[in-house]
Amino acid sequence: MPPSFVTDGGTLTLDLGTSANTGWATAASSAPPSYGGNGGSKPPGPAPVPTGPVRSGIAGKCVDVDHGSTADGTRVQSWSCNGSAAQEFALTPEGTLRGIGKCVQLDGTGIHSLATLWTCDGGGDQKWTYNASTKALVNPQSGRCLDIPESSAQDGTQLQIFDCNATAAQQWTLPA
């Protein structure tokens, strides 16, 4: 049987099985666990996800949660960038676009399906990928891009998805 070990907090138990080798034994230690070659410090965790405004290709506009509401179904809209909490978003490693502790969700997959804020559930209607070359936020389930309808510069225009076309209405700069 090959050697194995189990750690349990500060205890290390080494089990070598039924080998005739008597140079090894089971031992316990009250020392804190060490993580090897980096001076005994804990390994680094994942890098923090950048959070901040998602800026539109339409000058001065940002993704915004209507009135900063956390209610499911709240409109996700374009609004003049103002640095408020309603404009703080992060594209997570799981592929969700999160703001105010909720996810940007679509009400369908067709052209003109609207973006709303919803409790995160991991569904395809809440998934997004970012294409850095075109600056598009794409919903993989629909294959369509997050879009400001008619390239409107009007505050309060609810965001939608539309066939990807690389216009300013579909160009987004994510927080760095």
Residues whose CB is less than 8 angstroms from the CB of residue 2 and which lie 6 or more positions away in sequence, other chains included = 17
Tokens describing residue 111: 């052209």
Average pLDDT over residues 162-176: 98
Per-residue confidence (pLDDT) for residue 123, from 0 to 100 = 98
Examine the pLDDT at 14 and tell me if it is beyond 60.
Answer: no
Banded pLDDT at 46 (limits 50, 70, 90)? confident
Average pLDDT over residues 49-68: 97
Banded pLDDT at 48 (limits 50, 70, 90)? confident
Domain ranges, ordered by start, for the chain: 1-34, 55-173
Other Cβ atoms closer than 10 A to 163 = 11
Give pLDDT tens digits for 15-25: 445 545 554 44
pTM: 0.75
Average pLDDT over residues 85-97: 98
Whole-number Å distance between alpha carbons of 2 and 18: 10
Banded pLDDT at 175 (limits 50, 70, 90)? very high
CB 75 within 8 A of CB 83: no
The lowest-confidence range among 22-26, 121-125, 147-151 is 22-26
Whole-number Å distance between alpha carbons of 11 and 150: 63
Asked if CATH classification 2.40.30.10 holds for the domain at 55-173, the reply, yes or no, is no
User: What Å distances lie between residue 75 and 80, 125, 136, CA to CA?
Assistant: 15, 15, 20
Per-residue confidence (pLDDT) for residue 47, from 0 to 100 = 78
| φ and ψ at residue 113, rounded to 5 degrees | -60, 140
